[in-house]
Structure 1
Amino acid sequence: MCYHVSTPKKAKLEAKAREENLVIQGEFEQYYHVSGFARPYLPVTINTEPTVIQPAQWKLIPHWVANEEGAKKYSNTLNAESTGIFDKASYKPYIQKFRGLLWIDGFYEPHKVEGKKETENYYLYRPNNEIFTLGIVYSPWINKDTGELTHTIAVITTHANELLAEIHNEKKRMPLVISESDREGWLHAKTRPEIESFMQPAGNDYLLGHKITARVTSGKQDFNIPEVQEKAPEENKDRGLLF
């Protein structure tokens, strides 16, 4: 599943916004690594405001959750599996009307090694470290205690492509990557068949990946440092460049 991402620096995001003719609203912290369990605010574009990049909070909170206390206790809605997204109560009210794009420059996944308790971690990214987008579903959640509106998101996941099946080798899933050519279609799709047509794994050559030293998926310490994305020492040796 996708619980850990990296987000672009301010200047990099601003350059991307100009390239895409988008307007940035709000401020964004840059993360070399951040966990969805921290419920961070991340840069998104939503289908009801398709010309804007704005903050949204990771972890989708449905409309029936009353307040922040309830939001903290609500079940894990960081990811939404594509196969059940039209039926599961948390996402069913939103998937047809409220979708968007999460702007990132990488994400992290665990890799199970036979005979070892601890998993290895891998960092996935685009060639040349370009910004790319993940497909999201969002809820325009209103905190009934404060009246504040917050866009809250879940990252949609699909079955893994060949690369991610080898890396994320237990669950064999990956986040839904929305390519440059599909962004407009994803934001403006109306019917269930149209929406489902975009929920496919990325092509095998779309992403690169390498093993890292840090165990970011353990959640046991803060890895929001540049070095977290560096290749593990053995990855700099000739291993046939699997990733």
Structure 2
Amino acid sequence: MCYRTKLNVKLSEIEQSFDARFIEPETYKPMEEINAFSFMKTPVVTDENLGEIEMYNWGLIPFWARDEKIRKMTLNARIESLTEKPAFRNSVENRCLIIANGYYEWQWKDPKGKEKQKFLITPQEQELFAFAGIYSSWTNPKTNSLVNSYAIVTTEANELMSEIHNNKKRMPVILKKEDRQAWLSSWEVSGFAFPYEVKLNAKAI
């Protein structure tokens, strides 16, 4: 799966790479490691606003949720069951680019994962890249405030990630730069499942 990402570049680099502008630039802070379980806001580009970079919360909250507790279970969305899972099926056509310049994964050194090796994973041909994402807009019934949130779409691991993420053998869908628009244009999700992939580097840290 994918629960730790990296985005530590300057705001101007993100805007240039994605040909878009931050709506609230003051809310962006470069971070060496972003923990999914903090449910924090990170930069995304949605299919509704291609020229804008917005800050959405990691952890998708479907519009029908009574509260935000479900987000613990919706940080990632398996591409194979996107159209079936109640938490995701209403958001399949709500596509977004989740911006990053790396993510972290842990290799289990023993069957129970008591000893682990941490790796930084990056695409070989993109310094800044986009995870395939889906998003939802939810109104908190207690405060009436709007929460925009997302899930990172995951797929079967390729050969490299099967060796590194050896307990789950999953990986996030990282989009080729030329396919960002295709994802946002609601192309069939199955076309982005493995063997769709980008070439990756893995650095032990």
Q: Same fold (TM over 0.5)?
A: yes
Q: Per-residue displacement from partner, 1:55-84 (whole Å, max 9, x unpaired)?
A: 000000111223xxx213655110000111
- Measured in 2, the distance between the counterparts of 1:173 and 1:86 equals 18
| Offset of residue 21 of structure 1 | 2.3
Query: Are residues 182 and 31 of structure 1, via their aligned partners in 2, closer, same or farther at CA, if it must alter by over 3 Å?
Result: same
Aligned alpha-carbon RMSD (Å)? 1.9
Q: Indicate the SS of the match to 1:80.
A: strand
Looking at structure 2, the residues matched to 37 and 151 of structure 1 have their Cα atoms a distance apart, in angstroms, of 16
Q: Measure, in 2, the Cα distance between the counterparts of 1:124 and 1:28.
A: 22
Structure showing greater Rg = 1
Q: Which residue type is aligned with residue 199 of structure 1?
A: A
Q: Secondary structure at the match of 2:181?
A: helix
**Count of aligned pairs:** 202
Amino acid at match of 1:72: K
Name the structure 2 match of 1:200.
194
Contact preservation (8 Å) 1:8, 1:131:
no
Q: CA deviation at 1:40?
A: 1.0
Q: Any idea what SS the aligned residue of 1:108 has?
A: strand
Instruction: Say if 2:175 and 2:197, in contact at 8 Å, map to a contact too.
Output: no
Give the structure 2 partner of residue 223 of structure 1.
none
Amino acid at match of 2:99: W
Q: Which runs of 5+ in 2 are unaligned?
A: none
CA–CA separation in structure 2 for the residues paired with 1:128 and 1:203? 12
Give aligned-pair identity as a percent. 29
CA distance in 1 between counterparts of 2:4 and 2:16 reads 26
* Structure 1 stretches of at least 4 aligned residues deviating more than 4 Å after TM superposition: none
* Distance in 2, Cα, partners of 1:127 & 1:135: 17
Is there any run of 5+ residues in structure 1 with no aligned partner, and where? 213-243
Q: How far has the Cα of 1:126 moved from its partner? A: 3.0
Compute the TM-score of the two structures, normalised by the length of structure 2: 0.90
CA offsets 1:193-215 (integer angstroms, 9 cap, x no match): x23212335546x2211111xxx
Question: How far off its partner does 1:52 sit?
Answer: 1.1
- The structure with the greater share of residues assigned to strand is 2
- Change in 2 beyond 3 A, CA 1:202/1:8: farther
